[in-house]
């Protein structure tokens, strides 16, 4: 499927003897196949009777699996499902004990944005800086496709009310439009306000660029201001008598070469 070389994919047959995370057959299979990646999907199926929600039950299993990974040099990917407690912190959204989350060196969480779009968010990394969220889709017509970076954080990923859900980029744009609706504001103050709203500098600058916000220097200070077209549009919005004259002010704007547009 999707061009995979299935001859390099091996499965441990546990039909007669159910497999657990502490089973010695895991290490034996890794060594025999010289495997570089072990995928356990889902973790709930390989507990050997241990209580998924108990630290006492999960800690030995995770410790055993970690030791196998260290001895063999094989990476281990564990796939689990999320619980339904929407107001719970993200690290507690996984089914089972927090020890599963704690033992992992890297945690990726997948959330649904629409019927076809999903987003992968890097929620934890002990080995390097967290990666940026990435969107993908999978449907019968097109198949699997990556869509690139997606501006969202893992807390917003699980908002149940989709009308309240918006990407970090959209939130940054709305913030800028609100902040500048009454005129230019000193750039430093805009950035300080954005930081208070938990909007990153990178996302803020991208939103500024997409909105066409101007940087203007006055008295040795830099200000942000909305483009003149937007300011005129806001001024004339809702004024039926003014709408017929909407383009008149724009027609007198000087072009970059000094001529009148």
On whether both 47 and 139 belong to a single domain, the answer is no
Tell me the average pLDDT of the chain: 78
On whether both 100 and 111 belong to a single domain, the answer is no
User: pLDDT by residue (tens digit) across 9-43?
Assistant: 899 888 888 888 989 999 999 999 999 999 998 88
Asked if the structure places residue 260 within a domain, the reply is no
For the chain, how many structural domains are there in total? Answer: 3
On whether both 180 and 213 belong to a single domain, the answer is yes
On whether both 73 and 147 belong to a single domain, the answer is no
Give the C-alpha distances (Å, rounded to integers) separating 168 from 159, 223, 229, 241. 13, 23, 25, 37
User: pLDDT by residue (tens digit) across 92-145?
Assistant: 455 566 778 888 888 888 888 877 888 999 988 888 888 999 999 987 777 888
Burial of residue 207 (CB within 10 Å: 0-12, 13-18, 19+) is buried
On whether both 141 and 61 belong to a single domain, the answer is no
On whether both 99 and 113 belong to a single domain, the answer is no
Residue 115 domain boundaries: 106-162
On whether both 155 and 64 belong to a single domain, the answer is no
Say how far apart CA 235 and CA 63 lie, in whole Å. Answer: 64
For 80-87, which contacts have Cβ atoms below 8 Å and span 24 or more sequence positions?
80/42, 80/43, 80/44, 81/42, 81/44, 82/109, 82/158, 86/158, 86/159, 86/160
């Amino acid at each position: 499927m999707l061009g995979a070389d299935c001859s390099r994919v091996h499965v441990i047959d546990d039909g007669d003897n159910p497999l657990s995370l502490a089973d010695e057959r895991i290490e034996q299979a890794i060594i025999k196949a010289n495997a570089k990646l072990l995928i356990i999907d889902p973790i709930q199926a390989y507990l050997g009777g241990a209580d998924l929600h108990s630290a006492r039950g999960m800690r030995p299993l995770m410790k055993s699996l970690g030791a196998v990974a260290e001895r063999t040099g094989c990476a281990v990917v564990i796939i689990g499902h999320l619980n339904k407690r929407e107001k719970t912190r993200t690290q507690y959204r996984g089914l089972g004990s927090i020890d599963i989350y704690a033992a992992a060196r890297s945690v990726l969480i997948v959330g649904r944005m629409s019927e076809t779009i999903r987003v992968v968010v890097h929620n934890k990394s002990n080995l390097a800086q967290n990666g940026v969220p990435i969107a993908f889709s999978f449907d019968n017509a097109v198949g699997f496709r990556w869509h690139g970076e997606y501006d969202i954080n893992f807390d917003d990923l699980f908002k149940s009310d989709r009308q309240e859900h918006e990407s970090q980029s959209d939130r940054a744009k709305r913030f800028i439009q609100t902040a500048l609706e009454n005129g230019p504001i000193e750039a430093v103050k805009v950035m300080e306000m954005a930081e208070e709203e938990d909007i990153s500098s990178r996302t803020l600058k991208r939103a500024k660029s997409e909105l066409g916000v101007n940087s203007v220097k006055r008295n040795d200070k830099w200000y942000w201001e909305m483009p003149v077209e937007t300011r005129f549009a806001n001024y004339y919005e809702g004024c039926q008598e003014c709408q017929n004259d909407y383009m008149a002010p724009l027609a007198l704007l000087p072009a970059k070469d000094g001529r009148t547009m």
